[in-house]
Structure 1
């Protein structure tokens, strides 16, 4: 199956590219952000499509995808959880929060590494990853579920219960 970008999205991307008349290469970040926002992650096909669209080698696009931790290379679950791991949250229990969330969501993080930072539950309902500072250092541990921000998380099971279908 060929990678297809919906026409409205391609129109939006084309408009973004016009903001970089000197070098289309400078449009890599905004194009990737648009693709990830739509598809949820950046696939190999999306890398190739972006490279073709901007007249670049695919490796140049992949370098950007792998450099920035905000880009995902695998599909997240329906509910994507990001747990802050920086110092103040770690001291407040973010590593324990991660373990507990994984236990309650049936997520196995054994295959997680730098290139594959996301772990997904078998049913695809939940995914989880560590995140750098989520900018609420005084209220740790903090996490986000999709775009919802949660501070002083003390009841991981209760938090997940809010995201059951």
Structure 2
């Protein structure tokens, strides 16, 4: 299959396979098996177990709850909350909502990309940081704002955003 830019779009590239232990997922599947409308809950809990949705887990979910794999994949790809690649230890969510945008989130993104040497949606080679642009964090009074593992950092400047990343990195490498 090709995308609009002529590049080949392979399922394996979008959803890398990994060897995962399905045992922790079985308890979730047993709890929700036969309950109509539980697919999203199952996917949320699967992501909670693995940190993302591995292909092997998606296929297992379809098999156990008795639906076509396309239905599971369709639900998982429809909602932006679901991830298909492992994330770093620190998930950096940068708000791109209106308040953040007009207050310079674009400059913050540039600084973060430069500091981490990754783009939106990527993870650093050391698996410490994943950068993810999000539509809104609901912290408009702190604009521009980023959230790292649930902790909000607001009124950011490019320099202060870099400083937050450097402090986390320093803590990680000195531990």
TM over 0.5: yes
Tell me, what secondary structure is at the counterpart of 1:38? helix
Moved segments of 4+, more than 4 Å: none
Give runs of aligned pairs for residues 2-151 of structure 1, distance below 5 A: 3-7=20-24, 9-15=25-31, 17=32, 21=35, 23=36, 26-107=37-118, 109=119, 118-151=121-154
Tell me, what secondary structure is at the counterpart of 2:152? strand
Cα displacement (A) at 1:14: 2.6
**CA deviation digits over 1:62-84, x for unaligned, max 9?**
11111111101111111111111
Cα displacement (A) at 1:31: 0.7
Q: TM-score, normalised by structure 2?
A: 0.78
Cα displacement (A) at 1:11: 2.1
Tell me, yes or no, if the aligned pair for 2:29 and 2:64 is still in contact at 8 Å: no
Cα displacement (A) at 1:4: 2.2
Cα displacement (A) at 1:162: 3.2
Tell me, yes or no, if the aligned pair for 1:84 and 1:134 is still in contact at 8 Å: yes
Aligned length: 151
Tell me, what secondary structure is at the counterpart of 1:119? coil
Q: Which runs of 5+ in 2 are unaligned?
A: 1-17
Tell me, what secondary structure is at the counterpart of 2:71? helix
Q: TM-score, normalised by structure 1?
A: 0.83
CA distance in 1, matches of 2:30, 2:155: 42
Seen in structure 2, the aligned counterparts of structure 1 residues 2 and 85 have a Cα distance that, compared at 3 Å, is closer
Tell me, yes or no, if the aligned pair for 2:100 and 2:145 is still in contact at 8 Å: yes
Tell me, yes or no, if the aligned pair for 2:54 and 2:84 is still in contact at 8 Å: yes
CA distance in 1, matches of 2:147, 2:155: 12
Q: Which runs of 5+ in 1 are unaligned?
A: 113-117
CA distance in 1, matches of 2:164, 2:65: 42
Cα displacement (A) at 1:86: 1.2
Cα displacement (A) at 1:13: 4.2
**CA deviation digits over 1:131-158, x for unaligned, max 9?**
1111011211111112222221221121
